[in-house]
Structures are given as C-alpha cells and as structure tokens.
Chain A
Amino acid sequence: MTQLALVIDLNVCVGCHACVTSCKEWNTSGSAGPLFDERPYDADPTGTFFNRVQTFEMGKYPNSETLHFPKSCLHCEDPPCVPVCPTGASYKRKEDGIVLVDYDKCIGCKYCSWACPYGAREFDEKQKVMKKCTLCVDRIYDQSLAEIDRKPSCVKACPTSARLFGDIHDPESEVSLAIREEGGYALMPEWGTHPANHYLPRRKTKLKIHNDELERADNPLKVDGQLPKPGKGDSSMDDVSAW
C-alpha cells in the first residue's frame, strides 16, 4: 500500500507563495480545464486555488512570532469527503492514496466540501464542479518528464525545500523519516481523518550554558582562593584577580 503525501516544514517556510503560484500555473494549464478567476486585477478578486499560504501570529506584541502555513488537501487516509459524495465523483485511489474528483461525474452539490473539516475543497464557479489538490497526478507519473521533475508543482517551486513529497507508508522514505524524527504532526487529529500530509513544527536551536561553564572551574588561583574575586561584571586582570 502506497500513500503519497506532502510533508511541510513550517520551520523552513518563509511564506513566499511560490508554491501557490506554481500550483495555480500548472493546474490551470492542464487538460482538466482552467481554474476559474474572476476580477483578478480588480477590487475583491476571487478564484479557485488548490493551495494557499496562510499567515498566523502567535502571542502579543512584542512577544509575537509569525507562522506561514501552506494548506492544501491533506489526502486523508480516512477521507470524510469521499463516502458522502452521491455520485462517486469523489474517490480515493487505492494504488497511491490520492483523493481525487472526477470532474465529469461531479454534479456540484458541494456536499463534500461540507464534509471536509479543513476547507481544502474549492468550488469552480465557471465549470460548476468541485476542485481540489490532485498532488499533480498528471505530473508525478509522466514518463516524458525527467525523473527529477516527477514531483508536485509546489514541491518543485519551493525555494527553501520546505515541501517534501513521498510515500508515508514506506518507513524508509524521506517523508516517513522526517515525520518520525522531526516531530511530524497531523492537523485536527480530533476528527480521526488521519491526514496523509504532515507538518513539521517550528524548531529553535538553543545553546544551554550552565553557570559553571562560565568560569574556569580548574583555575588553580581560584581553587586556592588566594587572590581577590571581583564581581562578574567588574574588570579582572590575570595574576591579580581570581578570574
């Protein structure tokens, strides 16, 4: 069993939206037809995207931090959007676990979007069908592309390599290792949807210095206690003080 998925490293994402534009470019140019856009250069633009980068702020100024958060379909292992579809247009592929919409079968009832807690599906107001991330299914198996290019568009575009792509059921894959060893987590675990996409948390590398590391514990002058010991902020001099 294969389950293809993205692993998104929030520690590395800089919120540049390259994955968003690259995704839109690839998926609006495919044989499935364009992703609709309305008033793209006017006030109140709107359109269908498979992938969005959102920004959150944690904490209050001045102790606040910014988090850029790319969000697309999570290709759940137990997708709640699939069984509710009345036509079978929404389905999960057995061979690689990708959740897809058959645009020729979709009746545009939007029920699947109600059944997705993540808001990952977006209705195409021109084609009148539901659309969502396909993990670039028309790209990752394309033998005419060089093997290095057989990855989702967003993964190829990311300038900081914040997006990893692979099979999370293969314990030795890059994505499985990242999830296992770098604290990969799933969104809204409370609903039991088992999202295939995972996120790697923000991590900070901190150097912990203990007090005894600030002074030379083996300084013989200090051990003897024969010289004066000025305060830590005061100036000291070799052979005159104990520091």
Chain B
Amino acid sequence: MKPAFSVIFLTTLIGAGQGLFLALFTHQSYALFGLLPLQSDAFYGYGSALALLLLVGGLIASFFHLGRPERAWRAATQWRTSWLSREVIVLPAFMAFVFFYGLSHLAGFRPEIVTLPSGLVIDLSDVLGIVGTLLAFALFVCTAMIYACLRFLREWNSPLTVINYILMGGASGFSLAAFYAASAAPSQANFFVSWAAIITFLALAGRSASLARNARLKPKSTMQTAIGVKHPYIVQRSMGSMGGTFNTREFFHGKSESFLRTIKPTFLILAFVLPLLLLASFATNPVLLGIVFALQYIGLLAERWFFFAQANHPQNLYYQTIG
C-alpha cells in the first residue's frame, strides 16, 4: 500500500494524544487511591490541553486524506458496518471528554458525584476521566480495526494490529507524559518513566511478533486464482494502460526493496530500543525525556510508513506491467 502522510500523522498523533490522556488519568487514579500524591489541577488540566492539541493535529491531518473534505460529516452515518465511520464518531467524542476533563481541572469545577462506602470521593473529573479512558481504548480499537478488518490485506488482518496500536500509542503517550511531568511536576516523573519503559517494552514485543508473523505469510491469491488459469508460469504483458493509473499509485509504496529493508531496523531502534535504553536509566531530566519522546515519535512515523508499505494488496497481481 502507498503510505499516505495524512494517515501516518493521523494515527501517530492521536495515538500519542490518547496515550498522554491515559497517562494523566492513570496518575489521577493512583492518587485517588492514595498511592501517589494528587497533583495540582493545572498539571492535569494543561496536560489534557496538550493531549487535545495532538488530537486536533491528527484530526486536521485526516482531512488531507479526503478528496471531498466538505462532506466529511457524512462519514458518521455508517457506524453499523464501517470501522472508519465508528472512528469518525469516537474521535470527536473522545476529544470532547478530554476537553471537559481538562476544563473541570483548570476551572477547579470538580463537584462530588458519589461517595463510595469506603469513603472514597468520586468527583466530576474522575467520572469524565473514566469515560475518557473507555473512549480512548474504543478509539484505539476503531483505528486499528480499520486496517485489521480487511481480510485480504493479510499483514494487517490480525489481532496483533489492534494490540500494537494500543501499545504504540500508549508508549508514545507515556513518554510524552514523562517529559511533561519532568518539566511540570518533577517529583512524579519517575512514575511516568517506569510505565513508559514497560509499555515501550511491550510494544517492542508486540511489533516484533507481528513482524515475525508477516515474514511467514504466504499469499493466498496467486496469478492462477487472479485470472483463473492453471499454469505455473504466467506473466503479465499489459495491464491495459499506456501509463500509470490509480491502481499503480495507490497500492505500491514506490520505494525500493532495500529502502524497505532499511526502514525496518530504523523504526525498531528509534521507536523502541533507544527510548527503552534512555528510559531505563531512570533519568528525570526534561531535556533527555524530550529527546526520548522525539526519537520515539519519529520512530513511530517510520513504523507507520512501514506498516502501510509492507501490506501487499492482492490487486497488485493485476498491475505489474505497463504496456
């Protein structure tokens, strides 16, 4: 498939945004149970604003993917069957909850909603955070299922796709949260650094598993099933056009095999290995953690490019030779 930069930015930006929100609310949940000191409203509030910024960035990027962006509202209608439509609904819903979660902190408007029998007070920001957390996971599932549900793109058609979208978004979000905490609440940076390291390690395991799986895939469609001729040696002499077509532009990455082979170790090192090594040093230096997030984000851009480029569409069997 041709990696579209709009989709690469959409999926990586919202992934980091979702991860950052999850990180902030994870901290607040720990604090709710008294495991960590609750931070100031500004910490959660401005953190959510940063997450919202990433989500808005992703949303803007997604519009560049559309031929007719002015009709984008129509995309919310087919949620019964289309994962893309579900994403179109869940993304703004999640953004709304991130916005109101941040607002409840920044405005200091956190009225008590319910007091649990144990004496635990659940306030408005907790409720908004819980719903936001559910929506963050729903959004990960929707985004990943857009790819995982296409059964003939077999590199994508696996539960690993969904797991990895959650883990990679989570890893970049927690890295960003570590950087943010190191700057805004240094005493809490270690909490985020530890979780970022754990999730980055899990993401490395998950992505390696999907790479191993894809390396062993055998194509189901062959030249023989494509044109229905039983002959071991079939070559295309003409694809019925004198130049390129939509089918030659949309479904090929257009780079050499060696470029593809270079990208794979590059993203593994940038997105997972280097951040892991730096996080494992447990440094809470904001500059260092800023570098960790930057490296990881660039690595995830490369990862997403590779994710698309590696998927081999069966339609390519019909488009091999211009002539």
Cβ of A23 to closest chain B Cβ, rounded Å:
12
Within 8 A of B (CB), among A99-149: 105-111, 113-119, 121-123, 125, 127-129
Within 8 A of A (CB), among B45-77: 65-69, 71-72, 74-77
B107 on interface, CB distance cutoff 8 Å:
no
Cβ of B75 to closest chain A Cβ, rounded Å:
4
Beta-carbon contact of A45 and B233 below 8 Å: no
Point out the residues of chain B lying under 8 angstroms from A108, CB to CB. 66-68
Within 8 A of A (CB), among B81-112: 81-85, 88
B234 on interface, CB distance cutoff 8 Å:
yes
Q: A119: which of B77, B84, B233, B251 is its contact (CB, 8 Å)?
A: B251
Beta-carbon contact of A114 and B1 below 8 Å: yes
* Cα–Cα distance between A48 and B225 once the two chains are bound (Å): 25
Cβ of B236 to closest chain A Cβ, rounded Å:
5
Cβ of A122 to closest chain B Cβ, rounded Å:
4
Choose, from A57-65, A151-159, A215-223, the stretch at the interface. A57-65
Choose, from A160-168, A182-190, A206-214, A228-236, the stretch at the interface. A182-190
Q: A117: which of B152, B227, B246 is its contact (CB, 8 Å)?
A: B152
Total count of chain A residues near the partner, CB < 8 A: 63
Known: A56-B234, A87-B78. A129 touches B318 (CB 8 A): no
Point out the residues of chain A lying under 8 angstroms from B231, CB to CB. 58-59
Give B202-234 as 1s and 0s: 1 = Cβ < 8 Å from A's Cβ atoms.
000000000000000000110101111101011
Nearest to A105 among chain B residues (CB) is B74
Nearest to A110 among chain B residues (CB) is B250
Known: A71-B318, A109-B67, A123-B67. A55 touches B237 (CB 8 A): yes
* Cα–Cα distance between A199 and B227 once the two chains are bound (Å): 9
B117 on interface, CB distance cutoff 8 Å:
no
Point out the residues of chain B lying under 8 angstroms from A71, CB to CB. 240, 318
Beta-carbon contact of B240 and A86 below 8 Å: no
A85 on interface, CB distance cutoff 8 Å:
yes
B241 on interface, CB distance cutoff 8 Å:
yes
* Cα–Cα distance between A83 and B83 once the two chains are bound (Å): 9
B150 on interface, CB distance cutoff 8 Å:
yes
* Cα–Cα distance between A168 and B100 once the two chains are bound (Å): 56
Main secondary structure of the interface of A (DSSP, over half): loop
Point out the residues of chain B lying under 8 angstroms from A82, CB to CB. 81
Known: A55-B238, A119-B251, A199-B228. A109 touches B244 (CB 8 A): no
Beta-carbon contact of B251 and A84 below 8 Å: no
A53 on interface, CB distance cutoff 8 Å:
yes
Give A24-54 as 1s and 0s: 1 = Cβ < 8 Å from B's Cβ atoms.
0000000000000001000111111100111
Cβ of A1 to closest chain B Cβ, rounded Å:
21
Beta-carbon contact of A44 and B237 below 8 Å: no
Beta-carbon contact of A118 and B318 below 8 Å: yes
Beta-carbon contact of B68 and A85 below 8 Å: no
Point out the residues of chain A lying under 8 angstroms from B153, CB to CB. 114
Q: Give the 10 A-B CB pairs with smallest separation, nearest first.
A: A108-B67, A119-B315, A128-B67, A52-B240, A83-B81, A86-B85, A86-B75, A87-B74, A55-B238, A44-B243
New contact pairs (20) apart from A58-B231, A129-B67, CB-CB < 8 Å: A45-B243, A46-B241, A46-B244, A52-B240, A55-B238, A84-B82, A84-B149, A86-B85, A87-B78, A88-B77, A89-B74, A107-B68, A107-B71, A110-B65, A119-B316, A119-B318, A119-B319, A185-B228, A186-B228, A187-B225
Sample of 8 A–B contacts (CB below 8 Å): A57-B236, A58-B229, A58-B234, A67-B227, A105-B71, A106-B71, A128-B67, A190-B221
